[in-house]
Structure 1
Amino acid sequence: MLYFLIKGLHVAADMIWVGGMLINAFVIAMVPPPIRGGVITALRRYDRIVTTGALGLVWLLGLILAFGYIGFSGGWLHLKLLIVVMLSALHGMQSKWLRRMEADPLLDPPAFVRKGMPIVLVSLVIVVMLAEVKPF
């Protein structure tokens, strides 16, 4: 019973985190410089409180599941963890560039940060497939 509660909270935190990363990616890539300032100011507050909080919960609950219930025996889990580490790094880069773009709305981030939406979505599909199918 406790396993399913932790797993459910882990999945819910995943959805909140990924949703926040997609919002960040949209604002970084699509919002024109003249209106970036106000939009980014509001988004940074949401990102700090909600998205980063969900990221912390994802890691905490994921590690509890890995150490307490699943173990680190499956190769699928290692690949999933690698992708989650990369997504965590992308979130850090998004936060950094939102901060920089708030200070100077004319700045454009590097392509990797601007292309956050497809990176997040493809990573999400791979992680879900790994967790559900456990192919290796």
Structure 2
Amino acid sequence: MLYLLTKSLHILAVIIWLSGFAALAIGLLTPGKAHLELLHRWDKRVTNPALALVWVLGLILAYWGGWFGATWLWIKLAAVFVLSGLHGTLSGRTRRALKNDSTDQLQSLAKPALGLSLLLVALAILMVETKFY
């Protein structure tokens, strides 16, 4: 029962995190100061805590499942690590743009981030669902 509750919370946190990540990336395509401030506040208050929960609950599940020796888990962890870094990059650029009052260069990372994130999410899901390796 505790495992299923933890798994459900992990999935919910993943959905919240990835939704916030996508909203931030899409929001950077048409940056405006008020719009970016709203996205930044949401990122700090909702998306970042969800990311922390994803990692904590995911590692707990991996420990309980005894999967740390499995190749599929390490591939998934690598994908989630890159996704986390990509989110941090977008979040940091947004924060700096608001601080410097310059939104000119935000669009350059948004489109590649969206494409790469779709591939990495697909890889993570494939690894979990198929336990491919």
TM-score normalised over the length of structure 1: 0.90
Q: How far apart are the structure 1 equivalents of 2:21 and 2:48? A: 10
* Structure 1 residue 110 displacement after superposition: 7.7
Decide which of 118, 123, 127 is 1:121's aligned counterpart: 118
* Aligned amino acid, residue 4 of structure 1: L
For the 8 Å contact 1:21–1:120, the answer to whether it is kept is: no
For the 8 Å contact 1:93–1:113, the answer to whether it is kept is: no
Structural RMSD (CA): 1.5
For the 8 Å contact 1:7–1:61, the answer to whether it is kept is: yes
Secondary structure at the residue paired with 1:115? helix
- Count how many residue pairs are aligned between Structure 1 and Structure 2: 132
* Higher RCO structure, 1 or 2 (CA under 8 Å, sep 6+): 1
Residue in 2 that maps onto 1:69: 65
* Structure 1 residue 39 displacement after superposition: 0.3
Deviations 1:33-72 (A, max 9, x none): xxx1000001111000100010000001011111122331
Residue in 1 that maps onto 2:132: 135
Q: How far apart are the structure 2 equivalents of 1:110 and 1:19? A: 18
- Which stretches of structure 1, 4 residues or more, deviate above 3 A after TM superposition? 109-114
TM-score normalised over the length of structure 2: 0.91
Gaps of 5+ in 2: none
Residue in 2 that maps onto 1:93: 89
Residue in 2 that maps onto 1:21: 21
Say whether 1:9 aligns with 2:4.
Answer: no
Identity of matched residues, %: 36
Q: Which moved more, 1:102-111 or 1:68-77?
A: 102-111
